[in-house]
Amino acid sequence: MFTLHKKDGNARLGTLKLAHGDVQTPIFMPVGTVGSVKTMVPEDLHKLGAEIILGNTYHLYIRPGLEVIREFGGLHGFVGWNRPILTDSGGFQIFSLANQRKIDETGARFQSHLDGKLIHLTPELAVEIQETLGADIHMVLDECTSHPATYQQAANSMRRSMRWAARSRAARTRPELAQFGIVQGSMYEDLRTESIEALTAMNFEGYSIGGLSVGEPKPDMRRITKHCCDRLPEDKPRYLMGVGTPLDLIESIDAGVDMFDCVMPTRNGRNGTLFTSKGRVNIKNTRYRLEKAPLDENCACYTCQNFSLSYLRHLFMAKEYTAQRLLTLHNLTYYLKLIHDIRAAIAEGTFKDLLAHHQGLWET
């Protein structure tokens, strides 16, 4: 399923062979929570070079529901996307509904945010939902440990996640779809090691690093990411969940991560924060009111090739939907081009130069 082609330091160049096509790594996956990357359509994503998108198990389960998805033969047919899809397990929704859910050994009980219906999400149900969706890669159900957590809290949570992972592995019925285990253990290296040993014994097709980007300081995120990558199997893909900024991506690739997803390029675009070759741009800034230059003169996206900063600011301030689309288009272009540049640098053996450039760009 995964072929490692080359390394430059710890940065890795590889290929994932999935049910709906090959994916080159490192890869960034745009987030399509309810079966749609906000303001984008599949044609946009194809043109941008997106190779795989992410869907949300919890949201798709409650709406439109499995009956509708089955009618279309899976999520691909329903949303009109013919390339790979990765789905999460619903574990992050359990985490985000901390005040409204009850967790026990069977799973998590909580109410739908739409109609208040009681949901009992178990490891087995999470597998059933994702196999019905037909996700090329799906996650085991886990308990995402909140931050900060005491050692005992983190240990209890991680060990429950490992028991759930074993149940998820046993519930799998579609071997053509890849299943990833999720490493937990909060900020404690020994717990992360214990989690990795438990998961690798189950021989998953890939491994996710979970429980990061939940409020911990960046140095802790980097430390735990590196610790996990140093111990995960070299011949399996590594996925850092929910991360992050351009600098997060490139520094995590430097630690050995292969896969990323994050709402940052789409959400920030809709909120007027843009990523450019010269750093962040806040489109609301009054300095752009009369600016005829494009958002990023080094960007080949439709937005930068056709519109001025002045016009983009006008659309945003006027709350025009067009602004959300154009700014999201630019941010996704930036992220996917960054990934392509990183792959090229690894292939050429110049990754450290690219890393240094982006550290200088984003840390200022």
**Cα–Cα distance measured from residue 211 to residue 194, given in angstroms and rounded to the nearest whole number:** 15
Q: What pLDDT is stored for residue 364 in this prediction?
A: 53
Q: Using 70 as the pLDDT threshold, list the residues of the chain that sit under it.
A: 364
Where do the structural domains in the chain lie, given as residue ranges? 2-262, 270-364
The structure tokens 């090739």 sit at 305
Residue 341 annotated as catalytic? no
Identify the active-site residue in 136, 142, 254, 261: 261
Report the alpha-carbon angle 205-51-28, nearest 5: 75
Q: What pLDDT is stored for residue 93 in this prediction?
A: 75
Q: Give the predicted TM-score (pTM) of the model.
A: 0.97
Identify the active-site residue in 44, 88, 136, 254: 88
DSSP 106-145: TEEEEE-TTT--EEEE-HHHHHHHHHHHT-SEEEPP----
Q: What pLDDT is stored for residue 99 in this prediction?
A: 73
Q: What pLDDT is stored for residue 113 in this prediction?
A: 83
Q: Are 207 and 216 in contact (CB under 8 A)?
A: no
Residues with Cβ < 8 Å from 274, sequence gap 6 or more?
Answer: 268, 280, 281, 282, 283, 295, 296, 327, 330, 331, 334
Q: Are 126 and 181 in contact (CB under 8 A)?
A: no
How would you classify the pairing of strands 137-139 and 85-87?
Answer: parallel
Domain 2-262 has CATH 3.20.20.105: yes
Report the alpha-carbon angle 71-76-77, nearest 5: 45
Largest CA distance in the chain: 61
pLDDT in tens, 278-316: 999 999 999 999 999 999 999 999 999 999 999 999 999
Residue 88 annotated as catalytic? yes
Burial tier of 294 (Cβ tally within 10 Å: 0-12, 13-18, 19+): buried
Q: Are 207 and 232 in contact (CB under 8 A)?
A: yes
Q: What pLDDT is stored for residue 230 in this prediction?
A: 98
Burial tier of 170 (Cβ tally within 10 Å: 0-12, 13-18, 19+): exposed
Q: What pLDDT is stored for residue 219 in this prediction?
A: 97
